[in-house]
Chains A and B, each alone.
Chain A
Amino acid sequence: MSTTARLLAPLRSAALLRPLAPAMAATSASSRLLHTTSSQAHVDTSSTDGNQPQGHLPGKASSVFLTSLNDSFFDKVTPNVLSGSNNAQGGIPTFRLLDGTGKLLPGVTDAMLDITKQEAVRMYETMMLLPVMDVVLYNAQRQGRISFYMTSHGEEAAVIGSAAGLDHSDEVFTQYREMGVLVWRGMHLDDMMNQVFGNEGDMGKARQAPIHFGNPSLHFHNVSSPLATQLPQAAGAGFALKRTKGRENNVVICYCGEGAASEGDFHAGLNIAATTKAPVIFFVRNNGFAISTPSTEQFCGDGIASRGPGYGMLTIRVDGNDALAVRAAVKEAKAKCLAESRPVLIEAMTYRVGHHSTSDDSSAYRSRDAVENWKKMDNPLHRMRSFLSERGWWNDEMEEEIKKTARKRVIDAMNRAEKKKRPSVTSMFEDIYSGELPQNLKEQRAELARLVKKYGKSEVWAKELNKHAEEGRDLEKY
């Protein structure tokens, strides 16, 4: 009875509803705003010089007044270095260290490269491993051995170069075309194949489609299919990192493509990272296509880099096919991120040489010639190889040796993964909630157990059960 009395008591006052709180809040906020504006306005009117920066806008430190309407419209944000330069027509410049043939550009010194033979060679070897995996797994998909695959062809330098610019303990959020980061960080080939084949060795328990990797010990957060969702998440992770003792020297890197940059979450992620001063490097692979959509139909501005300054964000455009330039840009971005406690935007210009995925035939929307020309004209692997050869750090024998061993390693790992069983049938019901299985899921698992017991010998089910660990016997206890 006392509970009912408690329930009833509020009803009387509920009848006397107050006005909507937000309306009240808005009133007080706007009165504060008016106060600020009027005091500022007083200062503004005392100035007669239009070129004098004016603090007339709340939230904007200064802005000069113009009286010409024509001069007042604008559609470009151009870095300072270009003003007055002949190159200004080209828009935001692109940072590069090597030319298309792998030679150092004029003025580039070894000190600027800041790389040892060992690291440069390792970068190239990792870059080479990617197309080997890509070719083997692409064909495996074509043979129906795996359900799906996405290659990294053409973007090896962007991905490996960026990975090489970071520490292994930096947190990584990706879109899906960045498995090179895992290869660079030394994820075991077996672990990668287990994910692609969805077997019981997969750390992710074979629930996601191929190439949706995750690896906590390598600080690589799980890939998910919805585009750009990782961007605001990366901002939150960066903010958490900043608040974690002992991790003051770590940053988050968050990858996406230029297509994903059209999602609302791109705006959301960059803006919230900027306002919360999260140490995040947003790394956009601008490869010219989002499936069939060319970037000319994706945006009208100067690529993605032009948006960075709009968020008050330190920004750089880099030649994404120059692994050393990408590495240098990311290293410097990380240093600035930490020193200035703010996010950085990097736009890496590259070209998606492969099809979008195994479900796509890109010749339906671009010519094979264009792709072939691109591979010849600006090939990130050739560029890196020339750089190494020129220094005597690489030769044909090494190239052949790596190609041969890499292919064997990949095929062996693939064959091992293919032989493994899928996780048990009942594991489908686990991990939806941490540490508990709600009643509805218990009931549904029992229902599947009943059905399998009754119909498990039917052709389709029998064949499928056979592929799983315990072959469905795990259902018996339910």
Chain B
Amino acid sequence: MGRSLLGCRRGRAIRDAQAHALAADETTCIFGEDVAFGGVFRSTVGLAEEFGRERVFNTPLCEQGLVGFGIGMADMGHTAVAEVQFADYIFPAFDQIVNEAAKYNYRSGGMFSAGKLTIRSPCMAVGHGALYHSQSVEQFFMAVPGVKVVIPRSPIQAKGLLLASIRDPNPVIFLEPKVLYRASVEQVPEDDFTLPLSKAEVIEPGKDITLLSWGTPLYSCVEAINMLRNPPASIAEHFPKDLRNASVELIDLRTILPWDRETVAKSVAKTGRCVIVHEAPITAGAGAEIGAYLQDKCFLHLEAPICRIGGWDTPFPHVHETFYKPETVRIADALVRTLSY
């Protein structure tokens, strides 16, 4: 991939991916609440000016309407990129996504398809988003045959996975961890490129334990690994010296549905131990599905119970966020418990 590299913020990566999609395919339109002036997270800055208001436009404030509208465009063979302003507000469109977009191809025997629809939506915690600007919603859609659910962790990932999602012949829900919009900076290729869907990525290979996550908590996972290796003096007593050199295999799942069973099961069969981390509540979270699958496929290899770390089974709180989220300490504690089982 010969190309120049450009310092790029995540919001910019998503903006650039959409610019490539608009440039490459004349039928592509981008729409949603407030996207024309650049979007409340600046993800569509300059696109209306560059490609015209007929292709990048505001819709009325109505999620079921704008998702249904996108399905109709896709049904006519046009590429539709719909933005739902916060994943917390995707629920009014739940019917259109679950009963319509997901089943369009199946119910018509392949005669009609909503495959050219991509729904982008900011998700996960942001520090002070409280109940309706913080939610992780992937588990609701993980139970829906016919849609794909994708969550990137960084600007390069966001650009490559978003372009792949827009071009995938199936409806994709693309959830963007919003805390990373401005925080996460890396060199992103200027070119049009894609990353494969339904492929997990082993970020750091290891042999003693598998640590699986996606989106924002991956950064806490990295910190947790560092905490295990080199715990601060204040809590060092809880990290036994013989565990500090444990080799942790860190995996980014990237696609929640259909998820990469092979990579994850292979890793857990090798390490025999697994910690799954997500921000969504534990009960019936994606970790439940993955954990159940792993105990089935890796039963004889497991040395410890599969451990799930997530939000508590409460609504996402405002002032209690630090104690709600799967923070570094909780993940590090899970690593110690699972390693020492």
Instruction: Please report A residues at the B interface, Cβ cutoff 8 Å.
Output: 3-4, 6-11, 13-14, 16-18, 20-22, 24-25, 171, 173, 202-208, 212, 214-216, 221-222, 224, 226, 229, 231-241, 243-244, 264-265, 267-269, 271-272, 275-276, 431-435, 438-441
B56 interface residue (CB < 8 Å to A): no
B227 interface residue (CB < 8 Å to A): no
Q: How far is the CA of A431 from the CA of B110 in the complex (A)?
A: 6
Contact between B92 and A264 (Cβ–Cβ < 8 Å)? yes
Min CB–CB distance A60 → chain B (angstroms):
15
Partner of A240, one of B76, B111, B127, B261: B76
Min CB–CB distance B122 → chain A (angstroms):
9
Q: A272-B59, A276-B59 are in contact. Are A7 and B154 (CB under 8 A)?
A: yes
Residues from chain A with Cβ under 8 Å of B60 in the complex: 268, 271-272, 275
Residues from chain A with Cβ under 8 Å of B64 in the complex: 232, 264-265, 268
Interface-lining segment among B16-24, B218-226, B309-317: B218-226
Residues from chain B with Cβ under 8 Å of A204 in the complex: 107-109, 111
Partner of A229, one of B100, B126, B223: B100
Min CB–CB distance A214 → chain B (angstroms):
5
Q: A20-B126, A275-B59 are in contact. Are A233 and B262 (CB under 8 A)?
A: no
18 contacts between A and B (CB under 8 A): A3-B203, A11-B183, A17-B127, A20-B126, A20-B129, A22-B40, A24-B40, A214-B108, A222-B108, A222-B111, A226-B95, A237-B72, A243-B27, A244-B76, A268-B60, A276-B69, A438-B198, A440-B258
Residues from chain B with Cβ under 8 Å of A25 in the complex: 34, 40
Partner of A431, one of B86, B106, B129, B218: B106
Partner of B111, one of A24, A203, A231, A234: A203
Count of residues in B whose CB is under 8 Å from the partner chain: 78
B80 interface residue (CB < 8 Å to A): yes
Interface-lining segment among B174-182, B239-247, B330-338: B174-182
Q: A272-B59, A272-B60 are in contact. Are A236 and B68 (CB under 8 A)?
A: yes
Q: Which residue in chain B gives the minimum CB-CB distance to A433? A: B170
Give me the 9 closest cross-chain CB pairs, A-B, nearest first: A236-B72, A232-B68, A268-B65, A205-B109, A438-B258, A233-B72, A240-B76, A236-B69, A10-B184
B195 interface residue (CB < 8 Å to A): no
Partner of B185, one of A9, A215, A434: A9
Contact between B106 and A432 (Cβ–Cβ < 8 Å)? yes
Q: How far is the CA of A265 from the CA of B67 in the complex (A)?
A: 11
Q: How far is the CA of A408 from the CA of B222 in the complex (A)?
A: 74
Q: How far is the CA of A81 from the CA of B109 in the complex (A)?
A: 49
Contact between A20 and B128 (Cβ–Cβ < 8 Å)? yes
Q: Which residue in chain B gives the minimum CB-CB distance to A19? A: B128
Contact between B185 and A236 (Cβ–Cβ < 8 Å)? no
Residues from chain B with Cβ under 8 Å of A207 in the complex: 106-107, 109
Partner of A439, one of B178, B223, B226, B258: B258
Q: How far is the CA of A25 from the CA of B44 in the complex (A)?
A: 14
Contact between B75 and A233 (Cβ–Cβ < 8 Å)? yes
Min CB–CB distance B34 → chain A (angstroms):
7
Residues from chain A with Cβ under 8 Å of B127 in the complex: 17
Residues from chain B with Cβ under 8 Å of A202 in the complex: 109
Q: How far is the CA of A6 from the CA of B204 in the complex (A)?
A: 12
- SS class of chain A's interface: helix, strand, loop or mixed? helix
Min CB–CB distance A346 → chain B (angstroms):
19
Q: How far is the CA of A253 from the CA of B223 in the complex (A)?
A: 56
The interface centre, meaning the residue of A21, A233, A264, A431 with most chain B CB atoms within 10 A of its CB, is A233
Contact between A203 and B69 (Cβ–Cβ < 8 Å)? no
Contact between B111 and A236 (Cβ–Cβ < 8 Å)? no
Q: A204-B111, A268-B68, A272-B66 are in contact. Are A6 and B154 (CB under 8 A)?
A: yes
Residues from chain A with Cβ under 8 Å of B72 in the complex: 173, 232-240
Min CB–CB distance A38 → chain B (angstroms):
21
Min CB–CB distance B8 → chain A (angstroms):
12
Q: How far is the CA of A440 from the CA of B133 in the complex (A)?
A: 32
Contact between B110 and A434 (Cβ–Cβ < 8 Å)? yes
Contact between A271 and B110 (Cβ–Cβ < 8 Å)? no
Contact between B185 and A10 (Cβ–Cβ < 8 Å)? yes
Q: How far is the CA of A236 from the CA of B57 in the complex (A)?
A: 13
Q: Which residue in chain A gives the minimum CB-CB distance to B261? A: A439
Q: How far is the CA of A389 from the CA of B100 in the complex (A)?
A: 45
Q: Which chain B residues (30-48) contact chain A, with CB distance < 8 Å? A: 34, 40-42
Contact between B104 and A434 (Cβ–Cβ < 8 Å)? no
Q: Which residue in chain A gives the minimum CB-CB distance to B220? A: A11
Residues from chain B with Cβ under 8 Å of A222 in the complex: 104, 107-108, 111-112
Q: How far is the CA of A207 from the CA of B112 in the complex (A)?
A: 14
Partner of B262, one of A237, A267, A268, A439: A439
Contact between B95 and A231 (Cβ–Cβ < 8 Å)? no
Residues from chain A with Cβ under 8 Å of B80 in the complex: 236
Min CB–CB distance A430 → chain B (angstroms):
8
Residues from chain B with Cβ under 8 Å of A241 in the complex: 76
Q: How far is the CA of A22 from the CA of B189 in the complex (A)?
A: 28
Min CB–CB distance A31 → chain B (angstroms):
13
Min CB–CB distance A149 → chain B (angstroms):
18
Q: A240-B27, A265-B68 are in contact. Are A434 and B170 (CB under 8 A)?
A: yes
Min CB–CB distance B45 → chain A (angstroms):
12
B186 interface residue (CB < 8 Å to A): yes
The interface centre, meaning the residue of A6, A13, A204 with most chain B CB atoms within 10 A of its CB, is A6
Q: A17-B183, A236-B70 are in contact. Are A11 and B258 (CB under 8 A)?
A: no
Q: Which residue in chain A gives the minimum CB-CB distance to B71? A: A233
Contact between A239 and B59 (Cβ–Cβ < 8 Å)? no
Min CB–CB distance A244 → chain B (angstroms):
7
Q: Which residue in chain A gives the minimum CB-CB distance to B216? A: A14
Min CB–CB distance A445 → chain B (angstroms):
13
Residues from chain B with Cβ under 8 Å of A238 in the complex: 72
Contact between A433 and B68 (Cβ–Cβ < 8 Å)? no
Contact between A440 and B99 (Cβ–Cβ < 8 Å)? no
Q: Which chain B residues (85-113) contact chain A, with CB distance < 8 Å? A: 85-86, 92, 95-96, 99-100, 103-113
B78 interface residue (CB < 8 Å to A): yes
Q: How far is the CA of A185 from the CA of B72 in the complex (A)?
A: 22
Residues from chain B with Cβ under 8 Å of A438 in the complex: 198, 258
Q: How far is the CA of A212 from the CA of B108 in the complex (A)?
A: 9
Q: Which residue in chain A gives the minimum CB-CB distance to B54? A: A243
Residues from chain A with Cβ under 8 Å of B42 in the complex: 21
Q: How far is the CA of A8 from the CA of B34 in the complex (A)?
A: 32
Partner of B65, one of A17, A173, A232: A232
Residues from chain B with Cβ under 8 Å of A10 in the complex: 154, 180, 183-186, 219
Q: How far is the CA of A221 from the CA of B73 in the complex (A)?
A: 12
Residues from chain B with Cβ under 8 Å of A224 in the complex: 99-100, 103, 107
Q: Which chain B residues (256-294) contact chain A, with CB distance < 8 Å? A: 258, 261-262
Q: A10-B219, A206-B109, A267-B62 are in contact. List 18 more A-B contacts (CB 8 A).
A: A8-B223, A10-B184, A14-B219, A17-B126, A20-B126, A222-B107, A224-B100, A229-B96, A236-B72, A236-B73, A237-B72, A238-B72, A243-B29, A244-B78, A272-B69, A276-B59, A431-B110, A434-B170
